[in-house]
Amino acid sequence: MEVKLLSEHYDKKEFRHLEGYQKLGGYSALKKALKMKPEEIVAEVKNSGLRGRGGAGFPTGMKWGFLPQNGEPRFLLCNADEGEPGTFKDRLMMERAPHQLIEGMIIAAFGIKSQKSYIYIRGEYYQPYKIVEKAIEEAYKAGLLGKNILGSGFDHEMDVYRGAGAYIVGEETALISSLEGKKGQPKLKPPFPAVKGYLEKPTIVNNVETLAAVPWIINNGAQGYKKYGTEKSPGTKLFSVSGNVNKPGVYEVPLAYSFKDLLENECGGMKPGFKLKALIPGGSSCPVLNYDEAMKATMDYECMSQMGSMLGSGGVIVIDDKQCMVDLLNVLMHFYHHESCGQCTPCREGTGWMEKLSSSIGAGRAQLSDITLLDKVARQMMGTTICALSDAAALPVISFVSKFRDEFEFHIHEKKCKVKGHCHAQSHH
């Protein structure tokens, strides 16, 4: 069953504007927060166990705790560069509840004592950008942003910044580079952004969904949040489900909800004539699960990790029996090859090599040894680069090849597709 802690009012049009949002209880958390001590806010979020919803699942309160306690100016950045293939929950959140995000950001900024924040929004999200920008304007007019917010003495300025269309800018240090006006490339760590980030100042980068969860936690307390999910995966999460299911869309369920239930209850099962074959649970970088694994999976960090995959951003890609895995891998390899920033050698060269190998397999121009080579290249790209894009490109390869090797071999032996007879991969160059 859906548990709509955040998305309860998402279908109400008035919730998108300040007046309606306030009428439905909005900004009550901010009022409460401004009467708390900043340290109490950080502690509350830490105690709630809220984990970063952008993909890595890093505990949010702990991240905030890395900031130096020296009064140095610091920045809060909202990562709205939602680019992980299969993920479209931040978009919905910004379109349906821009003030929820803004409220969460003001509270977070108060907690970490930041006077300036940016919402870095991907360039392709023009509509959400307009909506968020308008909401910020409303907030300024209502005294919720700017000087002396609601008479608390706390000042905070907020701006929206549009990206220029690079997947890698979803990586927090690349986002910072881009915001600084540089080429969107990840920065070498250490130093970490909490110590030296945007403009070399301490910086916290949080995902849209993470920040949007903050008002609820402040209103209902850490313990209230922990009633949902598991000990290590507390709370709810928004999953964006795509694929040949009856009702694709964004669903908020408690963490540790079973995938089977999500598919059958919320999504209304597979479309007629399609059977579930595989599942990418959290966006394209997460290793694929086969049917048996998918049916046993619960949507939480621990289970996914046990199954050798990741919960990622919650971009649930349902793969049916009419899909060719070679074809799908080709699409992914093309994507990662196109999106590698080119800074680190293994990723720059490896993503291109993997795309070529994968497409030559699909086109029936390869030998069996090329499957092994593809797997080998992917493994050598793991853990060798500044950011995780290299791993993100390698993980699908390793899982696709190990779990669906028969489809790859068929393409090589028969020079046709096992699933469709003829698939894109064959004509793909």
Asked whether position 196 contacts other proteins by CB under 8 A, the answer is: no
Asked whether position 20 contacts other proteins by CB under 8 A, the answer is: no
**What does DSSP assign to residue 165?**
S
Sole binder of other proteins in the list 370, 409, 420, 424 (CB under 8 A): 370
**266 vs 339, beta carbon nearer other proteins:** 339
Q: Could you tell me which residues are beta bridge partners of residue 77?
A: 118, 205
Answer positive or negative: Cα dihedral of 99, 71, 192, 309.
Answer: negative
- Contacts with other proteins by CB under 8 A: the residue count is 31
Backbone angles phi, psi at 205, to 5 degrees: -115, 120
Piece in contact with other proteins (CB under 8 A), picked from 61-69, 126-134, 143-151, 335-343: 335-343
Asked whether position 344 contacts other proteins by CB under 8 A, the answer is: yes
Q: Which two tokens stand for residue 219?
A: 């209103």
Binders of other proteins among 153-172, rule CB under 8 A? 166
Asked whether position 351 contacts other proteins by CB under 8 A, the answer is: yes
Asked whether position 357 contacts other proteins by CB under 8 A, the answer is: yes
Task: Write down how long the chain is.
Answer: 429
Core vs surface per residue 112-147: b (16+ CB within 10 A) or e: bbbebbbbbbbebbeebbebbbebbebbeebebbee
Interacting residues of 3 by C-beta distance below 8 A, sequence separation 6+: 228, 236, 252, 253, 254
CA angle at 10 for the pair 5 and 15, rounded to the nearest 5°: 110
Element (H, E) at 403: helix 389-403
Sole binder of other proteins in the list 51, 53, 277, 337 (CB under 8 A): 337
For 265, counting Cβ atoms within 10 Å of its Cβ (0-12 exposed, 13-18 middle, 19+ buried), the class is: middle
Element (H, E) at 239: strand 236-243
C-beta of 305: minimal distance to other proteins in Å?
Answer: 15
**182 vs 415, beta carbon nearer other proteins:** 182
**134 vs 183, beta carbon nearer other proteins:** 183
Answer positive or negative: Cα dihedral of 335, 337, 343, 345.
Answer: positive
Sole binder of other proteins in the list 12, 356, 405, 420 (CB under 8 A): 356
Q: Which two tokens stand for residue 425?
A: 């991969």
Sole binder of other proteins in the list 114, 298, 385, 426 (CB under 8 A): 385
Asked whether position 27 contacts other proteins by CB under 8 A, the answer is: no
Asked whether position 386 contacts other proteins by CB under 8 A, the answer is: yes
**124 vs 157, beta carbon nearer other proteins:** 124
Please check whether residue 145 is in contact with residue 107, taking contact to mean a CB–CB distance below 8 angstroms. no
Asked whether position 206 contacts other proteins by CB under 8 A, the answer is: no
C-beta of 94: minimal distance to other proteins in Å?
Answer: 26
Sole binder of other proteins in the list 349, 364, 403, 424 (CB under 8 A): 349
Piece in contact with other proteins (CB under 8 A), picked from 14-22, 217-225, 241-249, 382-390: 382-390
**37 vs 164, beta carbon nearer other proteins:** 164
Please check whether residue 299 is in contact with residue 263, taking contact to mean a CB–CB distance below 8 angstroms. no
Looking only at the bridges linking them, the beta strands covering 75-80 and 203-207 are parallel
Piece in contact with other proteins (CB under 8 A), picked from 182-190, 245-253, 274-282, 415-423: 182-190
Element (H, E) at 352: helix 345-362
Asked whether position 190 contacts other proteins by CB under 8 A, the answer is: yes
Distance in angstroms (rounded) separating the CA atoms of residues 159 and 139: 12
C-beta of 342: minimal distance to other proteins in Å?
Answer: 4
Binding site for other proteins (CB under 8 A): 166, 183, 188, 190, 337-346, 348-353, 356-357, 360, 370, 373, 376, 380, 383-386
